[in-house]
Structure 1
């Protein structure tokens, strides 16, 4: 058996995202914020997410404290900060649901300290090593804004807009390449765009100009710290393709984009499709949903219309077809027709892409359309995105991974003494396994994924049916006990090696791995892929690979990429405005 590589400690780009109460208005907003964080994770960034309390919660806490005890700043600060602590924990939970490795730290756990008035302090210190150590093991770290420790007072808050200050301070101390302040507007305007639709937006500003132009939008202390430490600030809306950049830059105005509303045909409303539909319905400003294709259209569980007619589901000028029906061949022709006609296709169906890879890509090229299938490999783990980046430079020579979350879940239960039937029933109950588990259990699902990875990573056509594979049905209780006795665990390992002659050697095997190995530490429905680049570095991509929300989040991220790239018109400049139209489409 080949010796699997261990990932090298290669630093990733770090960005800080700030989410204030203007975008965290209700409990339901945590899912949207989690998707925004995932957008950056799949682009190869580590993320520190700084969050406020839900809208109105801090005021409610302060008012409650005043009613109970009157004006006692030291104690009021302790009451007020609980909203942020609560919010940070909830966002970490929302990230975990969609498969992002996330954790949260309270101020005392990361040495975050401040000086000054208990209700309006200024940050002075951070244990950067403690924060970076957490980020070595996680893709996102969620921290509460607005609050910190204090040498004398114990607990303090940072004043109105203090989460802005927290975000900029983290970016400065962690040497992040940017801090992005997510607001309810898509940048800084010369007037309130909610009151004046002709307000002009700044594309970029100096710190001095931003301090004047952003009054009431960005905390002044945050801009001061950014200027002192040369921190690049972006001000943007959720999911936006544009922002206002604040740095040592000359003032430039741009016309705001009028974002396109795209028509979506959703084929399938099962485990993944229902999750995708939920995300689409939450953005009626961006998407119009056709009748949803299902096998039994008489269902009434969602505020949409269903159909069992493919033609009806595809009616109208569809911009995006989202396919979650499954199967290698049934909808291949429909997807090819859509792509050939210029309609983008997003799918999590690894079988259809693996079986019709050349035809689908040829149709996409002919129709100048996009074929996106991030959810087909790894679920919430952005494996294909990492492969795409590394395949360009320096190239990829090997892949080793656990890419089937269902099998990983089953093996974990078998190791705990469950029977195969008990483990399978539990996986089906939790939505990890299909009613017919053959594809997962017999290795076909992993082979489909490995075929796609090999094609995207190494440019070699390797049909999935030519990849040798082991069935989970062959695993005996004796094999499990033997592995445990040696301190090892059984994993379904997918491997591929680029050979000197340009061919690829690949397999999907049940293997016994040392407990210390990175792939041995992958638990339950998690996926992990080790990508060995041509320069010898090893890059690990990790996330949840089974279940509704991780895969649906990946599919929706593809949809949002298409939405941001859709041709958009800018508002016509008013006479004498001096506005510079930076570009007419994205």
Structure 2
């Protein structure tokens, strides 16, 4: 029996703070989720410290003064900290929707201790082991900022206290910095909204930061950061750069001018529609061309009025297109458009595992030749960043084998069969809920998992097997008797793909149905959840998340788009706009298939 032993590798932590200047309304939680996912997909464990929504703390103070009319500060502290509790729960919901494993913790669940004035306290302690234990099951811990607890209950940390929470978490967890996300892209010599001649800093020491930030960063937070030697970064959402506050020499920043990139989205099914909503929320970064669909009239009535649809590829792929997003699915039209996009000098972001499994060498070659990005993060695992983890480990020869539950449709159906449902009923229900296509044979027969497994082989071992050589076992061959026998033995069936390098320089890859004990990490995966075990010389690394669905898949694709946008911005000369077709160094990365035309 396989026992799961977590890897002993040291965790990398990020502490990200999101204040009310970026959390202005409920829609902003999705934008903040992008920023958090950007870090988790690189293997970091994230503490996301959140403030109340814009104006909510002021409203609570005003309500408390109205009702209490000068009553105790301690009771007022109980009231005004409610904005942060609400915000943390909303942040957790947004991350769950995106498929990110998350735990929302209140201060008393972490023994987050504060002391001092009930409305202007300082943080003095944290149960680090409690926090680390929650990271065994979650990639992100969302913590409300602004308050902690003493022996008599909650007390707050003063205006801007969420900055202090982030600094202290970075200190206690040994993170390399506390990154404070604001509505400006760093610390300026003056308020840039009032003074157009204000200049940004790349680096400041603590005292200089205190003088010029004018409250942008809480004074107490800067003082504690200096005393504890915590590096503080001040940045805005999605930016690759920040103002770094540390014991260092002051450094002014060069001027930056960035233009939006024009994006052609091919397909407007569930994932394509979700991705378009993300793009519309970032008009300063992306401009949408008309979306390519088979029948524009079918999509227009219920769509956002800012979206336009066309059935003409030439109209969708206009000459000034920077990035093509392929969300069509299949290996016909989508395959040819993917190749032509790169040949025509456009970056390519795709979610088409079948095309990548067939044409990865060709597409990667075209990207390299033209200095372009090829990104396919949602092809394997949806919002579960398995390929990013393999890209980090493989160059160190740190991967012995990879196995995973990587098809949400099969996982959903196997769950239903385990409950005693009939096979036909389970398939029909999966189709009704959108997990399965009208023809589910690609999923049931293991073809979908085989495509994904071939891509995993490439990222783990540098070998791209012919998908036809990957053996596979079909769910259709799983008899009720086998299922009943497994259930009686306390086992649960899962469709598992596994690949391991052999001694001849090749790879053994197969998709099989395995009856697993309840103690196996895959046994707990439900519905569209995906999970992967990376076998390494020092143990096992387990990665899980949502492997299908509109929002997890759209999250992964949007993360790819943001990677391209940041690389494009870095390639621009400071103070100059980029040209329409300026190229960046090629990257090939990960990608679902979606019938959208």
Taking structure 2 as the reference length, what is the TM-score of the superposition? 0.93
Residues 324-403 of structure 1 aligned to structure 2 (within 5 Å)? 324-403=327-406
Aligned equivalents of 1:88 and 1:428: distance in 2?
A: 34
RMSD of aligned alpha carbons:
1.6
2:94 is matched with which residue?
Answer: 94
Matches within 5 A, 1:65-80: 65-72=64-71, 73-80=73-80
* Counterpart-to-counterpart distance in 2, 1:35 and 1:330: 30
Q: Which moved more, 1:13-22 or 1:258-267?
A: 258-267
| Per-residue deviation, residues 181-202 of structure 1 (Å, max 9, x unmatched) | 0000000000111112221111
Alpha-carbon deviations, 1:307-362, whole Å to 9, x = none?
11222210121110000100023222221122123211000110011111221111
Instruction: Name the counterpart of 1:12.
Output: 11
Query: Which deviations, in whole Å up to 9, do the C-alpha atoms of 1:418-460 show, x marking residues without a partner?
Result: 2223323333333322232221111111000001110121111
Question: Is the 1:340–1:369 Cα contact (8 Å) retained in structure 2?
Answer: no
Matches within 5 A, 1:86-485: 86-151=86-151, 153-298=152-297, 299-300=299-300, 301-303=303-305, 304-485=307-488
- Which structure has more relative contact order (CA 8 Å, sep 6+)? It is 2
Superimposed CA distance per residue, residues 378-414 of structure 1 (whole angstroms, 9 cap, x where no aligned partner): 0000011111111111342211111112211221122
Alignment partners' CA distance in 1, 2:438 and 2:195: 55
- Note if contact 1:271-1:431 (Cα within 8 Å) is conserved in structure 2: no
The aligned residue for residue 523 of structure 1 is 526
Instruction: Tell me how far 1:225 sits from its aligned partner.
Output: 1.1
- Cα offset for 1:538? 2.5
Contact kept, 8 Å, 1:189 with 1:213, in 2: the verdict is yes
Aligned length in residues: 571
Residue in 2 that maps onto 1:578: none
| Of 553, 556, 568, the match for 2:555 | 553
| Structure 1 length-normalised TM | 0.95
Q: Secondary structure at the match of 1:248?
A: coil
Question: Judging changes above 3 Å, is the alpha-carbon distance between structure 1 residues 418 and 197 closer, same or farther for their aligned structure 2 residues?
Answer: farther
The residue number in structure 2 matching 1:581 is none
The worse-fitting range, judged by mean Cα deviation, of 419-428 and 405-414 is: 419-428
Structure 1 residues 486-520: Cα deviation after superposition (integer angstroms, max 9, x where no partner): 22110000001100111111110011011111222
- The corresponding residue for 1:582 is none
Residue 536 of structure 1, CA deviation: 4.2
SS state at 2:558 partner: helix
Distance in structure 1 (CA, Å) of the matches to 2:66 and 2:4: 61
1:520, 1:256 → 2: CA distance?
53
Q: Which runs of 5+ in 2 are unaligned?
A: 577-583, 586-597
Q: By how many angstroms is 1:374 displaced?
A: 0.6
Structure 2 CA distance, aligned partners of 1:28 and 1:418? 39
Following superposition, the deviation at residue 3 of structure 1 comes to 5.2
Q: Quote the Cα distance in structure 1 between the aligned partners of 2:58 and 2:162.
A: 15
Cα offsets for 1:204-258 (capped at 9, x unmatched): 1111211112121011111111111111111100001110001111100112422
Taking the aligned partners of 1:478 and 1:501, their CA distance within structure 2 comes to 39
